[in-house]
């Protein structure tokens, strides 16, 4: 008999659910099918006080996409692709290469087959064009590091789900997260909180003219985007890059072919609810391809926008309202928390900063999907364009 799962609203979050009654050691097809449905309906599922092995985590993740094979960015990130900005953040667990160890600090001794892994929590100063002053940082000021979808955005398809399991969580006083974009916006977050916003809300709160633009637009990503952007610097909100001409020229990237470049709809259709989520990784976006629509307020003739500054200005207009303080859910992690999030329906960001003596350890897993996300259908276009 399938386990009885219960779902409760997630404190401080308009979309997620807390799930109880799930035992990862007993993953039945019925339970996993129920959880898939719940994930697509609620976008985040939190399972407190969970015991989870890397093998169970990989199995759980794979149940969302049984023919998916490799880690979302390709397997074995440890020691490879040194130019990619993702390189320092991930350590592959050797006996379960779909699962990555992430976090901060020096792990004493061997851990899951890794020899004294040293982890580094991403810090905004390494990525943003400007930084919080040392004085403010000492007082507990932080920023969003980088709003993103977990996705290679070249060759591989964006994972459907990401699972994050908290093994070690240093606790401390709440931090003040500043947007620093002139808005005065700020929120309180627990140290190292993972911030989420709903792509569905991001779309639904737009005015009609921007909804029309979004439903008609495809986003072309750079080849090897994380190498392409490796010298570029982010906006203070972590929502996309400043335009300073720092991207690597395309002929200086690792070998690439046009057919493997990702051009994805700006809106991704939820497979269960049919809702449209505005899902763009703003840092990797290189061009916008807009279909024509007679009578539309914006680009009635259609357009291909290749100027990076212009691409980013449009993305800012479309995405910034979605990360306003009221829309952000920041997970205050406890050890044993397992979080499943709908990677095709949310954007997320690391926050916070840790000291040299803090130790934070998480297991993260996602799998490059067996197919690309589906965009708006004819009915959606008729409704919004």
Residues that bind Fe ion (CB under 5 A): 150
What is the CA angle 131-353-116, rounded to 5?
Answer: 130
Taking the least distance from each CB to Fe ion, the nearer of 150 and 180 is 150
DSSP string of 36-72, one letter each residue:
HHHHHHHSEEEE-S----HHHHHHHHHTTSTT--SBT
- The least CB distance from residue 121 to Fe ion, in Å, is 13
- The least CB distance from residue 195 to Fe ion, in Å, is 11
Taking the least distance from each CB to Fe ion, the nearer of 73 and 269 is 73
- The least CB distance from residue 172 to Fe ion, in Å, is 22
Which single residue brings its beta carbon nearest to Fe ion? 150
- The least CB distance from residue 364 to Fe ion, in Å, is 7
Taking the least distance from each CB to Fe ion, the nearer of 228 and 341 is 341
Taking the least distance from each CB to Fe ion, the nearer of 60 and 288 is 60
- The least CB distance from residue 119 to Fe ion, in Å, is 15
Residues in contact with 39: Cβ distance below 8 Å, sequence separation at least 6, in sequence order: 45, 64, 161, 340, 341, 342
Taking the least distance from each CB to Fe ion, the nearer of 46 and 215 is 46
Note the maximum CA span of the chain.
65
Answer for the pair 94, 78: CB distance below 8 angstroms, yes or no: no
Structural tokens at position 136: 């403010």
Q: Measure the CA–CA gap between 204 and 293, rounded to whole angstroms.
A: 20
Answer for the pair 127, 233: CB distance below 8 angstroms, yes or no: yes
Taking the least distance from each CB to Fe ion, the nearer of 149 and 187 is 149
Taking the least distance from each CB to Fe ion, the nearer of 13 and 215 is 13
Strands in 329-331's sheet, in edge-to-edge order, are 329-331, 194-198, 346-350
- The least CB distance from residue 73 to Fe ion, in Å, is 10
Q: Where are the beta strands (DSSP E) in 234-381?
A: 263-265, 267-269, 276-278, 285-290, 303-305, 329-331, 338-342, 346-350, 360-366
State the residue for tokens 């020691």.
Answer: 79
Taking the least distance from each CB to Fe ion, the nearer of 148 and 211 is 148
Please give the C-alpha separations between residue 34 and each of 5, 7, 214, in angstroms, as whole numbers.
Answer: 9, 11, 31
At residue 278, the 3 state secondary structure works out as strand
Give the burial string for 312-322 (b: 16+ CB within 10 Å, else e): bebbbebbbeb
- The least CB distance from residue 21 to Fe ion, in Å, is 27
Stretch (H or E) spanning 187: strand 186-189
Taking the least distance from each CB to Fe ion, the nearer of 163 and 212 is 163
User: Count of alpha carbons within 13 Å of 62, Cβ hemisphere only?
Assistant: 18
- The least CB distance from residue 286 to Fe ion, in Å, is 20
- The least CB distance from residue 77 to Fe ion, in Å, is 13
């Amino acid at each position: 008999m399938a386990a009885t799962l219960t779902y409760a609203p997630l404190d401080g979050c308009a979309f997620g659910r807390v799930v109880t009654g799930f035992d990862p050691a007993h993953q039945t097809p019925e339970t996993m099918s129920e959880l898939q449905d719940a994930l697509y309906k609620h976008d985040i599922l939190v399972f407190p006080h969970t015991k989870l092995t890397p093998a169970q985590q990989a199995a759980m993740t794979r149940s969302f996409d049984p023919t998916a094979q490799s880690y979302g960015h390709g397997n074995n990130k440890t020691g490879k692709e040194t130019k990619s900005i993702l390189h320092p953040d991930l350590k592959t667990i050797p006996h379960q290469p779909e699962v990555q160890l992430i976090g901060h600090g020096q792990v004493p001794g061997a851990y899951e087959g890794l020899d004294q892994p040293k982890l580094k929590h991403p810090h905004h100063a390494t990525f943003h064009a400007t930084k919080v002053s040392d004085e403010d940082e000492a007082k507990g000021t932080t920023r969003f590091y980088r709003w993103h979808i977990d996705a290679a955005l070249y060759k591989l398809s964006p994972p459907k789900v990401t699972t994050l399991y908290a093994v070690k969580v240093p606790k401390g006083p709440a931090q003040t997260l500043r947007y620093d974009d002139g808005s005065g916006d700020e929120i309180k977050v627990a140290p190292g909180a993972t911030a989420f916003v709903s792509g569905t809300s991001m779309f639904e709160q737009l005015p009609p003219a921007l909804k029309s633009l979004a439903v008609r637009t495809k986003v072309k990503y750079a080849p090897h985007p994380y190498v392409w952007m490796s010298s570029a610097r982010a906006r203070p909100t972590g929502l996309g890059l400043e335009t300073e001409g720092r991207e690597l020229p395309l002929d200086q990237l690792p070998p690439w072919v046009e057919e493997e470049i990702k051009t994805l709809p700006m809106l991704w259709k939820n497979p269960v609810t049919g809702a449209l989520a505005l899902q763009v990784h703003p840092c990797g976006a290189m061009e916008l391809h807009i279909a024509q629509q007679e009578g539309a307020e914006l680009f009635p003739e259609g357009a291909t926008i290749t100027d990076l500054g212009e691409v980013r200005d449009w993305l800012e207009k479309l995405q910034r309202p979605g990360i306003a303080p009221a829309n952000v859910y920041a997970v205050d992690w406890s050890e044993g928390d397992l979080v499943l999030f709908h990677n095709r329906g949310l954007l997320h960001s690391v926050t916070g900063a840790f000291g040299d003596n803090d130790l934070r350890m998480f297991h993260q897993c996602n799998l490059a999907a067996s197919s690309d996300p589906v965009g708006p259908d004819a009915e959606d276009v008729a409704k919004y364009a």
